[in-house]
Chain A
Amino acid sequence: MAIEVRIPTILRSYTGGAKVVEGSGDSLNELLSDLDSRYSGLRARLVTDQGALHRFVNVYVNDEDVRFLGSLDAKLNDGDTVTILPAVAGGAFGFAAAAAILGHRAATRAR
């Protein structure tokens, strides 16, 4: 069963630079294990030691967020497309700068 998996730039070091790889599995959990057998270390970047999806990773099956489809238990079918992306809010610049400023303010107050 072939499922197309789109890999973000930051994780392509695990796939030998490949942007798109193929995998198989009846669930996201099975797919990630299958991928890890060929791209060692990839699964650990996406799944925590507690067995949940990493907070700052978003995974989509056919453009829908898996967190609303059962997370790692999300069912997969032949021909599905799985997209992995880092969590980025709209206005990607704004949040980064805002978080930095708040962090700075908190650090200043602590002193």
Chain B
Amino acid sequence: MARYESLLDACGGTPLVGLPRLSPAVPEGAPPVRLWAKLEDRNPTGSVKDRAALYMVRAAERAGRLRQGDTILEPTSGNTGIALAMVAKLRGYRLVCVMPENVSAERVQLLRMYGAEIIFSPAAGGSNQAVATAKQIAAEHPDWVMLYQYGNQANAQAHYETTGPELLRDLPTITHFVAGLGTTGTLMGTGRYLREKVEDIQIVAAEPRYGELVYGLRNIDEGYVPELYDAGVLTRRFSVGTRDAVLRTRQLIEVEGIFAGFSTGAVLHAALAVAHEAARAGRRADVAFIVADGGWKYLSTGAYAGTLADAEEALEGQLWA
């Protein structure tokens, strides 16, 4: 169906497309190994986060946590903020985003156009400064509602009820599911659903490995694992560096014509790794992975042009996924 009552109803139902050119070649007669991309950039605000934003707002409404005219406060460096801004606008809430000032200009402009208010935390102060800023805002506005995507079960539930069933409907022969690991909502929700329905399904996480500037500030005793995360849902977990993520992002548009953000490059890197393993072992594989968003919001980083080294340098210190 291609007709919807409102934009919110058009969330999900994204296409799954085969990647015949990027899929590993196998010898004649050997079991096929195929890669499939789920195009989550085809959601209303252009990212997979629309699913989680819609589910989190609806769950808060049902629980009586959100009433008309309320203010939602969400610390976000990107897609969740944009998705929430759209949902908040259409459902009658005000959205305030807290984000570091070194995020790309496109994201800031998009958020403002959707009607969100933005509070910046100084980039120079790093995460310590960001924490201080957030604490201060919460103290000043105790009535603001935070949906907190990292611990909100509705985030994972969105994928359990929509992404998972869509994948199984479109690819009943699925053997691997690969997605990026951030809030962990996509992997937990989709992963749980597929594990219940598909024997021996492999649930593979690709985690961005940022430049040193991001980790440099982080103390090992003060690390953080999202409350949603359950390692038991995953089969494997890969860490993908900036250079590999950029390389694969470029390869995806050059070879298959799909223009995606850098987190998708990291996911494709992991998907190719498991696909090639299967091909070498002579095993059949249908590897589905998530294209979380398009590349439009990241053009200003400069990382789509020049050499890989240039791109790596351009993304140093940035949260590219």
The interface of chain A, by Cβ under 8 A from chain B, is 8-11, 45-46, 54-58, 60, 63-65, 67-68, 83, 85-102, 104-105, 108
CB–CB B183/A91 < 8 A: yes
Sorting the interface of chain B by its residue count into under 10, 10 to 19, 20 to 34 or 35 or more gives 35 or more
B interface secondary structure, majority: mixed
Q: Which residues of B contact A108 (CB under 8 A)?
A: 142
Check: B139 CB closer than 8 A to any chain A CB: yes
Check: B95 CB closer than 8 A to any chain A CB: no
Q: Which residues of B contact A101 (CB under 8 A)?
A: 73, 75, 134-135, 137-138, 146, 148
CB–CB B236/A65 < 8 A: yes
Given contacts A11-B220, A56-B225, contact A93 B238 (CB under 8 A): no
Q: Beyond A9-B215, A101-B135, list 9 extra A-B contacts (CB 8 Å).
A: A10-B218, A56-B220, A68-B237, A86-B215, A89-B184, A90-B181, A90-B208, A93-B121, A94-B80
Q: Which residues of B contact A95 (CB under 8 A)?
A: 150, 224, 226
Given contacts A97-B130, A102-B148, contact A68 B224 (CB under 8 A): no
Contact check: which of A45, A67, A99 meets B224 at CB < 8 Å?
A: A99
The answer for the CA separation of A26 and B210 in the assembled complex, in Å, is 28
CB–CB A63/B263 < 8 A: no
Given contacts A64-B238, A83-B239, contact A88 B224 (CB under 8 A): yes
Contact with A along B100-125 (1 / 0, CB 8 A): 10000000000000000000010000
CB–CB B100/A93 < 8 A: yes
- Distance from B22 Cβ to chain A, minimum over Cβ atoms (Å): 19
